[in-house]
A and B are shown apart, each in its own frame.
Chain A
Amino acid sequence: MLSSPTVRASLIFTAVALVGLVFADIAITAANPWKDLGRFFLGVVTPDFFSTEGLATALLRTVAFAFVGVALGSVCGFLLALVYRAYPVRIFCAFIRAIHELFWALIFLQFFGFHPLTGVLAIAIPYSGIFAKVYSEILEEADPEPGRLLPPGTGVVSAFLYARIPDCWVQMRTYTAYRLECGLRSSAILGFVGLPTLGFYLESAFSQGHYSDAGAMLILFYVLIATLPLWVRPKLLPVYVLGAPFFLGDGMPIVWGNVARFFTQDIVPAPLKGEEGWSGMGTWLGDLFITQALPGIWNTVILTQIALVATGIIALLAFPLISTHFGGPVRRTSGHVFLVILRSTPEYILAYILLQLWGPSMLPAVVALALHNGGIIGHLIGRQSSSIVLRPDAPTGLDRYTYELVPRVYRSFLAFLFYRWEIIMRETAILGILGIYTLGFYVDSAIQNIQFDKAMVLILITASLNIGVDILGRFIRKKLALQTMPTC
């Protein structure tokens, strides 16, 4: 068994996570964590839909920002996908998607302020990078045969539209629909930094312990996502996309002088602005690196590795919940509901909730990341396992799970897991804003201290770390010959 490369890779990653656990700060510091958790669940089952003024508007804004952001992102992403072969384009896309939506929002907030553009761009920019990558992968994998059959002299555009697009259309549509769901989650959490979406009210309700209000908001959010296929119809899509910009709200006017100031002064490193000039840069950067970037990177990496393995464990435990090989329809349906809830709750919100209830340590973050990502992967391999046909005399129960199903889905399970590695790290960094000492904590501190030069350097470091993990993940997937699926 040890000779199998996938087993070896799994063991190595598990070992790294176990070593990480030694260094990680894992604790429940709240005196009464279960009492609070109980109050929270009580709040969820006794939701109060009417106490929060402006809740309906917040939902509307959440949807509007998601639609405008994702639409803009998919259009730009598609255009970028056409030139994705060019190396600089790849680097550019990798870079813009390595920066989390919340970081983009924090940057735009500094010069656009509370203008709708802040929220729209915060979603559209990283999504463009992701769309560019996935669209180009889909386009590349399209069957070249129809193109070869075209008569000579067919124009490039016609060939592309008639021979390439039809083959990719379904996959692109599915992926775009999936991103719309992600867009709703992103849009909701933008409220945590002050945009007028659901997160704004959710944060207020939680921090004040109004669990019934928070429960109502979460329920509405789940309903919104679960009913997505019902109200997002191809025919209605143009209506939504054209209508959405009108529901973003007014916000505050943009003062363009602020934009110029941000780029020419705010983000210029402090020594360059002062008398020291370039000679002071070494000390400035060194100091920033040792006191903030290094501890931030250390904690981000440890937390990511633990969360990655925990995600794997949750996914393996969760997939039988929806697999047709176990249980009857009732259990499968409840399994579905459970996994949909896990995957619909953004990690950021889950982590926020758990942090409020258990107190600050890495534990809430690990649990949040593992539940959300494990829910997603569990859902995907659960569906895949249902398509496996077993012999009529195949064992049942635990034996069926360990000897029949897990080995059969293990390779795609690993593929999904390594695919999400970078995503988990991106989220890990951002959870620092909630007070866990990952890179996001230091970025947030720099922004709170109005030191945007430091914040920008730290964001660049975070982005490089993500790009590094992305490359490593792809290398491992290639090494293990794992097939990648972009729809994850």
Chain B
Amino acid sequence: MTLNFIRKLALVSFMALTVSAAASAQTLVFTAIPDEDETKLVERFRGIADYLSGELDVDVRYIPVKSYAAAISAFRNNQVQLAWFGGLSGVQARELVPGSEAIAQGVEDKAFYSHFIAHKSTGLDEMEKLSDELRGKTFTFGSKGSTSGRLIPEYYIREAFDESPEEVFSRVGFSGNHTRTLRLVEAGTYDVGAINFSVWDKEMENNNIDTDAVKVIWTTPSYPNYQWTIRGDVNERFGEGFSQRVQEALLAMDDPELLESFPRSGFIPVSNDAYEPIRVVGKQIGIID
């Protein structure tokens, strides 16, 4: 029985391998960093998958992942060929996959910014620059690998206080994503949090924020953020000029509903060089080797 089982298992894994390899020969798989509530991501990216598959004449599939690192790994391992990365995750991914390129960013991503938000019980008010009033408060970032939820806020905290966040705040946490950060600060679980402006604005527009409980106290200077990154070897796999076709399809996206789901007003071309500042900051903080 045992032997039989092992044989079966070997056979099955072999079949699974060949079948999925054959199926994926025409399937473009993409993923996205899990920066928001999952239901929203799945809705948004299923729409994108349908749109791209119509434009490109190949099957397009979206797979959800649980962490930023998982998105980067899947991209690096060629299990996905296209990804919607944040600034930092994009830099990390492109460094690991030579030949990969940033092909499009949202109009808003050219000058993106993060908000510091605070619970009302802290009595904190809008401030010109990060001040000593923040000392001793509890603080939450978004995900460990987030640009707008971690990298940039940490950079400005270190710049303002010349100390690590752990030294400035009494407790430092990682909520996981921006929606979660908002909920945690709104509930008072953390006094202060860092959140990207786009999630904040969208939630505000949808009346999902209890403005009596939480407010913006500081906003970072702008920096480049989210972008679509594609592997360099897609042209060999899907045909000459495929990378460019994907770029054109993304730039041509004008369905208001799709764009609203990001939310972005449209996509514009971008290159790897645009993210050099992010790489420098990542190195300074020690997230990038």
Which residues of A approach B to under 8 Å, CB–CB? 25, 29-32, 36, 68, 71-72, 75, 109-111, 113-117, 192-194, 200, 203-204, 207-209, 238, 241-242, 245-246, 248, 250-255, 258, 270, 359-361, 435, 444-445, 447-451
Contacts and interface: CB of A to CB of B under 8 A. Distances in A.
A255 B79 contact: yes
A359 B13 contact: no
Nearest to B186: A31
B201 interface: no
A208 B37 contact: yes
B188 interface: yes
18 contacts: A30-B189, A32-B187, A68-B9, A116-B13, A200-B66, A207-B37, A208-B39, A241-B5, A242-B8, A245-B9, A248-B12, A252-B20, A252-B74, A255-B77, A255-B78, A258-B77, A448-B67, A449-B145
A451 B289 contact: yes
B284 interface: no
A253 B20 contact: yes
Interface stretch (B51-59, B170-178, B240-248, B267-275): B170-178
A217 B289 CA distance: 41
B279 interface: no
Given A258-B78, A444-B144, 18 more contacts: A31-B121, A75-B2, A113-B77, A114-B79, A193-B66, A194-B65, A194-B70, A200-B66, A203-B66, A208-B39, A241-B5, A242-B5, A251-B20, A252-B74, A253-B21, A435-B174, A450-B69, A450-B72
B6 A250 contact: no
Contact of A194 (B5, B6, B67): B67
Contacts of A253: 17, 20-21, 24, 79
Given A204-B39, A448-B68, A111 B77 contact: yes
Interface residues of B, number: 58
Interface of B: 1-2, 4-6, 8-9, 12-13, 16-17, 19-21, 23-24, 29, 37-39, 63, 65-70, 72-74, 76-79, 92, 96, 119, 121, 138, 143-145, 171, 173-174, 176-177, 179-180, 183-184, 187-190, 287-289
B225 to A, nearest CB: 18
A103 B256 CA distance: 42
Nearest to A116: B16
Nearest to A259: B77
A29 B145 contact: no
B115 to A, nearest CB: 20
* Closest 7 pairs between A and B when the two form their complex, measured CB to CB: A31-B188, A194-B66, A252-B79, A448-B144, A359-B189, A245-B12, A204-B38
Contacts of B72: 450
Nearest to B22: A253
Contacts of B69: 447-450
Contacts of B68: 448
Q: Which of B12, B119, B177 has the most CB of A within 10 A?
A: B12
A110 B16 contact: no
A242 B4 CA distance: 8
Given A31-B189, A110-B73, A449-B145, A207 B67 contact: no
